[in-house]
Structure 1
Amino acid sequence: MTPLPARPLTVATVQAQPVPGDLAGNAVAAARWTDRAAAAGARVVVLPELFLPAYHPPTLAADPTGTDLAATADGAVHDPRLDPLRQAARGGGTTVVLGAAVRHPDARRTISSLAVDPSGAVRVAYDKQQLWGGERDLFDAGRRGATLLVDDWRLGLGICYDGCFPEHGRAAADDGAHGYLCPSGYLAGSAHRRDLYYAARALDNTMYVVFANAVGGADPWRFNGGAAVYDPEGRPLARGADTGEELLVAELDPAALAATRSAHSMLTDRLPDQGLPRSVLRG
């Protein structure tokens, strides 16, 4: 198993309401959230799925030129609309993970997480693998998982519907993840599933989970907040309300990670052929 980090890591998660189609304005808003997170001591800040263009399928369908960011072959993003966010990351020494619609050189369009590092460089960190519902009409599925390294913390990346699949979080854990970052867009009426999935991914894999979510908007695209940081037993260290914008800050503690993994050893006890072969009994 991957060695545990040497020091705690302070993280922030955001629930906020971006403006559909206003990528430049939403980048300014993301910069403000990053400044606030840095002032609270956060080394990592996570914002919702598709935060930069906003998760609003009618706008994403009507204006791909205005809502998408172009990536180079090696995943770099050079777009002046992101300059305020680059500056905030540099000023706070913060890594920012936030959602974007990305156009790749091969014409694929993906729901992606960008990572803005403390130097201000922006890269496509991860493309969503599990597309939900009508997303399949607008976007292409990602091809592989990804892990973000911050200090000596390994942070697996997922986006919203990815976290509904136990295998996705387990793949991150198998890659040595100490935590799992999930920018998301959960709609009003989904609070039960929203709160269950990410707590379960934490306990399943004895890792921290950082869940960001959009909030507000108009039906049918009204989002329900509930951003949270879960400890490795699935208990919320910080939890947002179902309404209203909010910044939540929590510390990921390697000692708590070690204690949980010592007491709950599912990762090491798992059988290589779990549940196979199967017998069929007739009653």
Structure 2
Amino acid sequence: MSLPTAPLTVAAVQACPTPGDVAGNASAAARLVGRAAGARVVVLPELFLPAYHPPTLGADPGGTDVAADPDGRVDDPRLDPLRAAARDTGAAVLIGAAVRHPDRRRTISSLVVDPAGTITAGYDKQQLWSGERELFDAGRRGATLVVDTWRFGLGICYDGCFPEHGRAAAADGAHGYLCPSGYLAGSAHRRDLYYAARALDNTMFVVFANAVGGADPWRFNGGAAVYDPEGRPLARGADTGEDVLVATLHPDVLADTRAAHTMLLDRLPDAGSARATLVA
């Protein structure tokens, strides 16, 4: 697999959006992008624009959704501060949103704001968790984001609990995996295990953003992190408080890890599928 040609600085954000306030949360996101000094990629939490608050998402879909056109473009004036932040910093911004598609599907999505200020619904969450299925439709495909010469598979929260989701990204040549998320208080063990494991499983960097704060039962536990290809944190946030975690990804670290840990090359295409049943 080809490697990137130069280091890349990324940022994982943990912050507390206001339920239902898309315009205010877009302005907060713009401020947070400005804090990610020098980052070329900034990842904000799942559903950050409307906030991950199912009662509000269910009661006011018209106010909490953003609309995508048939090409996936999102042109919503409430997001203008975010466009400006991407243009001013030169960053590619990944931010969670509730998206209404032309066919009326409603998805939990990652919007990609490019450095020119264009916003695209880049990826729709495929693995819906629990009550999300009552409000949203599942995504139909994976996606890979290319920034400079780096390839990033896109996942959202529960997607990252499935090893095959990260593996599909790696099979598409991903050097990293970007995961906006919303982990509730009490889930710190799983939060810290899943994304480190996806990094090591696939010898790729992982950028994990998470919501933080809020009121029970929708209180989130931070812990945003950037993991190296062996699953070690390069940067990690606390379980409380707003933070922007900045780290630089190095191609030589990726190359050295993949040379030492060759799971991607050694994996059998049908590993474990032919099984014998033993009785003791």
Indicate yes or no: 2:209 matched with 1:208. Answer: no
Counterpart residue number, 1:125: 122
* Secondary structure at 2:167 match in 1: helix
Q: TM-score, normalised by structure 1?
A: 0.99
Indicate yes or no: 2:7 matched with 1:8. Answer: yes
Query: How is 1:45-84 mapped onto 2 (pairs within 5 angstroms)?
Result: 45-84=42-81
Indicate yes or no: 2:147 matched with 1:150. Answer: yes
Q: How much does 1:275 deviate?
A: 1.1
Which amino acid is 1:33 matched to?
Answer: L
Counterpart residue number, 2:109: 112
Counterpart residue number, 1:160: 157
* Secondary structure at 1:183 match in 2: strand
Counterpart residue number, 2:177: 180
Which amino acid is 2:20 matched to?
Answer: G
* Secondary structure at 1:267 match in 2: helix
**Displacement over 2 Å in runs of 4+:** none
Q: Separation in 2 of the partners of 1:187 and 1:242?
A: 10
* Secondary structure at 2:198 match in 1: helix
Q: Separation in 2 of the partners of 1:67 and 1:281?
A: 54
Query: How is 1:189-204 mapped onto 2 (pairs within 5 angstroms)?
Result: 189-204=186-201
Q: Separation in 2 of the partners of 1:276 and 1:202?
A: 24
Q: How much does 1:145 deviate?
A: 0.3
Gaps spanning 5+ residues in structure 1: where?
none
Q: Separation in 1 of the partners of 2:21 and 2:34?
A: 20
Q: Deviation string for 1:88-144 (max 9, x for gaps)?
A: 100111100010000000000000000000000000010000000000000000000
Which amino acid is 2:235 matched to?
Answer: A
Q: How much does 1:273 deviate?
A: 1.0
Counterpart residue number, 2:29: 30
Which amino acid is 1:172 matched to?
Answer: A
* Secondary structure at 1:4 match in 2: coil
Gaps spanning 5+ residues in structure 2: where?
none
* Secondary structure at 1:111 match in 2: strand
Q: How much does 1:276 deviate?
A: 2.4
Q: Separation in 2 of the partners of 1:26 and 1:46?
A: 14
Counterpart residue number, 1:223: 220
Q: Separation in 1 of the partners of 2:159 and 2:274?
A: 27
Q: How much does 1:247 deviate?
A: 0.5
Q: How much does 1:31 deviate?
A: 0.4
Once superposed, what is the RMSD of the aligned Cα atoms? 0.4
Counterpart residue number, 2:231: 234
Q: Separation in 1 of the partners of 2:178 and 2:198?
A: 11
* Secondary structure at 1:15 match in 2: strand
Counterpart residue number, 1:21: 20
Number of residue equivalences? 280
Which amino acid is 2:150 matched to?
Answer: W
Indicate yes or no: 2:263 matched with 1:263. Answer: no
Q: Separation in 1 of the partners of 2:268 and 2:84?
A: 47
* Secondary structure at 2:183 match in 1: coil
Indicate yes or no: 2:109 matched with 1:96. Answer: no
